[in-house]
Amino acid sequence: MDNISRLMFAVVMAMAYMAMGAEAQNTTMAPNSTVAANVTMAKVTMASNVTTASNVTTAFNVTTAFNVTTASNVTTAFNVTTASNVTTASNVTTASNVTTASIVTTTPVVNTTVTALTVNISRADCGRSRLCAAHPENCDPAVAGSCFFVSTQQSSGQTLSFQLRGVSSGYIAVGLSTDSTQGGNDTTYVCANNNSNVVLFTTLLDNKVLTIIKTLTVDPVMGSVNSQIIQCTFSATVPNATATKSTDTSFYLSISNGTFTNGDLGSPNAILVSDKAVDLSNPNTTVINSLNAALSSHAFGVPSQALLILLGVLGMMML
């Protein structure tokens, strides 16, 4: 290499070195660039942690507002045991049952559904579809006169239809007894003359006292009053005569009458009492009045004694 070539090589190298040196020297600020690298302000430590905003302990927990123990439970308002149960108002046992008002044994309860009976009761169906009993025996209730009459016909089970006729200024009644002793809480249906209108009472007869009850089903009821002749017809579900049978319509049957004054039923006067329990559903049953013998002996006893005394007097006069 000649000198000129060497000189040019050196110049080129020198220029290249200077160029490299200058670039490296000028880039000092870039690698250190502390402000750009750390940029402490750019990290914004306060924004990253933002302890106050991130935790915001007061706003996030807000213990008082979140639990609000007092408002959430509000034990007094939520349970309100007295108002919620209100046992007295909900059950109101006294007002719901009102047993005394329902039975009202001291005040007569008038059956206001009685309609007019426009035909006379008769013996037309006796022995065919209806059981009949009467005093005097075989008297005709369709004819004017003192005839006490009752007939029954089974509708279904314990439900029977009744026809009742008798003479009284007060009431006539038909009684059903499970034994021969009348008056042991016997079911008794009473048709009373209330200012020439028939009213029907369902009662129990005990110790000669008729107590009005409302637990006996009776419907419909028809009736009429003509002078002292009272007639009524009704359908009734009678109690079961025995607990051992599902259906038992056998009772001692009675007819009676009595007074009805200012809503009070007087003690019944027995007109007919069957001598045995009779099946009210059997139209072929014969009913014998057990009172006939007593009435006969009473009726004929006094004249017989008088006749003996008269014969004795006549005998003495002939001596």
User: What domains appear along the chain, each with residue ranges and CATH number?
Assistant: 132-290 (2.60.40.1210)
Q: Work out whether the CA dihedral 132, 137, 143, 146 comes out positive or negative.
A: negative
Burial (CB < 10 A; 0-12, 13-18, 19+), residue 93, is: exposed
Which amino acid is it at 93?
Answer: T
Which stretches of the chain score pLDDT less than 50? 21-107, 296-319
Tokens of 259: 């007074």
Tell me if 220 sits within 8 A of 236, measured CB to CB.
no
Percent of the chain with pLDDT over 70: 57
Answer yes or no: are the C-beta atoms of 197 and 191 closer than 8 Å.
no
Give the Cα separation of 284 and 282 in Å (integer). 5
The predicted-structure confidence for 296-315, as pLDDT tens digits, reads as follows 443 333 343 444 444 443 44
β pairing state of 229-237 and 218-226: antiparallel
Quick one: pLDDT at residue 297?
42
Q: Which two tokens stand for residue 137?
A: 């025996």
Query: How much is the pLDDT for 1?
Result: 56
Residue 49: the pLDDT is 46
Residue 227, pLDDT score: 93
Residues 211, 214, 215, 217: what is their CA dihedral angle, to the nearest 10 degrees? 120
Structure tokens at 170: 């007060």
- Distance, in Å, from the CA atom of 289 to the CA atom of 272, rounded to the nearest integer, reads 5
| Per-residue pLDDT tens digits for 184-239 | 899 999 999 999 999 999 999 999 999 999 888 898 999 999 999 999 999 999 99
**pLDDT value at residue 191:** 98
The sign of the torsion formed by the CA atoms of 72, 73, 74, 77 equals positive
Distance CA 33, CA 39 (A): 9
Q: What is the pTM of this model?
A: 0.60
Which burial class, exposed, middle or buried, applies to 156 when counting CB atoms under 10 A from its CB (0-12, 13-18, 19+)? exposed
